[in-house]
């Protein structure tokens, strides 16, 4: 699909009680050097001063504030109300890096067969200081399903609008893993590609949904995998990796339980992952089963190793 010379890019920000960060988010979009950006903030009825921030931007910003059923519904609502050839969403505490939209447009103009493009993403703290970088990499649908770590950072992802006609919209029953669910559904039907640039920043802070609801994310991730492999029209290339993918997701959930001190659930999930792929041992499985025998001391050791690896820049994909 050939894009017009300067296609319209539609960005949606779902918002709810992120008044401490949303001004910086909005500024990162409005400050882009690309001239054709349609920007809509879809607020869920914030009560923390967010609306005062939105009013402050005046006519430079389009927004709506009304109750909704969560982030996925807000994003879908925004995509339906906008008309850009390229669409994306940026959460109300995240940021775009300067010049990002121009780079994405140029990439999609040069690669007419690519329908979803993603790049690297900084992890920043509440003050905006960089904690580490999520280095993405080239991948296809099988890679996304079988990787023990996340590959595509959501804030750094853009897609052509035509994807909405084939893959549909975000699943509004999901509140944590709707991005991963969408990426694998898109990758089953479309070509995705990696742009080796840092495109955005993901903010890590105590009030962020990712930090507060990690347990719910594990449950949703398993539901996403089980449902995906029940799709009747799943391509054979993806059907063939089902056992490896299911093994992977159980190991990821085991790791979550382990790091949260729930050794019983961690061992149970690790063993389930091993049963899916008994001839292939993974580091996560060994860690849960071996360190788990040491009880809380083993959990503490794993946490210290994880902290040191992050501080040294090792294992940054999340």
Q: Give the per-residue pLDDT at 101.
A: 98
The distance from CA 97 to its chain's CA centroid, rounded to whole angstroms, is 17
Whether residue 106 is predicted with pLDDT greater than 90 in this model: the reply is: yes
Task: Name the residue with higher pLDDT: 24 or 68.
Answer: 24
The distance from CA 139 to its chain's CA centroid, rounded to whole angstroms, is 15
Which pair of structure tokens corresponds to residue 246?
């299911």
Q: How does residue 50 score in pLDDT terms, banded at 50, 70 and 90? A: very high
Give yes or no for a contact between 24 and 92, defined as CB atoms under 8 angstroms apart: no
Whether residue 300 is predicted with pLDDT greater than 60 in this model: the reply is: no
Q: How does residue 52 score in pLDDT terms, banded at 50, 70 and 90? A: very high
The 10s digit of each residue's pLDDT in 164-213 is 999 999 999 999 999 999 999 999 999 999 999 999 999 997 765 554 45
pTM of the shown model: 0.88
Whether residue 63 is predicted with pLDDT greater than 50 in this model: the reply is: yes
> CA 20, CA 61: separation in Å to the nearest integer?
18
- Say how many C-beta atoms besides its own lie within 10 A of residue 163's C-beta: 19
The 10s digit of each residue's pLDDT in 285-299 is 666 666 555 555 555
The 10s digit of each residue's pLDDT in 211-253 is 445 667 888 999 999 999 999 999 999 999 999 999 999 988 9
Give yes or no for a contact between 190 and 97, defined as CB atoms under 8 angstroms apart: no
Q: Give the per-residue pLDDT at 284.
A: 61
The residues near 163 (Cβ < 8 Å, ≥ 6 apart) are 115, 116, 186, 190
Please classify residue 230 by burial: count the beta carbons closer than 10 Å to its beta carbon, then call 0-12 exposed, 13-18 middle and 19+ buried: exposed
Which pair of structure tokens corresponds to residue 80?
């339906």
Q: Render 152-176 in DSSP notation, one character per residue.
A: S-GGGEEEETHHHHHT-S--TT-SS
Would you report the helix, strand and coil content of the chain in percent, each value rounded to 5? 45, 20, 35
Q: How does residue 54 score in pLDDT terms, banded at 50, 70 and 90? A: very high
The residues near 225 (Cβ < 8 Å, ≥ 6 apart) are 145, 245, 246, 249
E strand segments, the chain: 9-15, 37-43, 62-65, 86-89, 95-96, 114-124, 130-134, 157-160, 191-203
CA angle 50, 56, 62 (to 5 degrees): 80
């Amino acid at each position: 699909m050939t894009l017009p010379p300067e296609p319209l890019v539609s960005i949606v920000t779902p918002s709810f009680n992120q008044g401490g960060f949303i001004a910086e988010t909005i500024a990162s979009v409005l400050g882009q050097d690309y001239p054709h950006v349609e920007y809509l903030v879809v607020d869920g009825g914030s009560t923390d001063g967010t609306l005062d921030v939105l009013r402050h931007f005046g006519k430079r910003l389009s927004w709506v504030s009304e109750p909704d059923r969560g982030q996925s519904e807000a994003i879908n609502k925004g995509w339906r109300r906008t008309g850009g050839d390229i669409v994306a969403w940026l959460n109300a505490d995240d940021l775009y890096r300067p010049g990002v939209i121009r780079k994405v447009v140029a990439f999609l103009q040069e690669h007419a067969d690519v329908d979803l493009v993603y790049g690297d993403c900084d992890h920043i703290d509440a003050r905006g200081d960089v904690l580490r970088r999520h280095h993405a990499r080239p991948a296809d649908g099988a890679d996304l399903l079988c990787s023990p770590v996340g590959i595509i950072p959501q804030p750094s992802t853009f897609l052509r609008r035509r994807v909405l006609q084939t893959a549909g919209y975000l699943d509004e029953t999901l509140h944590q893993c709707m991005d991963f669910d969408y990426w694998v559904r898109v990758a089953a039907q479309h070509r995705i590609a990696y742009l080796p640039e840092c495109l955005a920043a993901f903010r890590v802070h105590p009030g962020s949904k990712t930090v507060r609801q990690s347990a719910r994310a594990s449950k949703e991730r398993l539901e996403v995998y089980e449902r995906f492999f029940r799709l009747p029209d799943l391509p054979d290339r993806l059907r063939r990796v089902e056992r490896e993918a299911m093994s992977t997701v159980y190991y990821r959930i085991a790791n979550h339980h382990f790091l949260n001190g729930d050794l019983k659930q961690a061992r149970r999930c690790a063993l389930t992952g091993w049963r899916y792929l008994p001839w292939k041992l993974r580091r996560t499985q060994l860690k849960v089963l071996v360190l788990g025998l040491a009880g809380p001391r083993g959990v503490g050791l794993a946490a210290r190793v994880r902290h040191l690896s992050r501080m040294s820049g090792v294992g940054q994909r999340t």
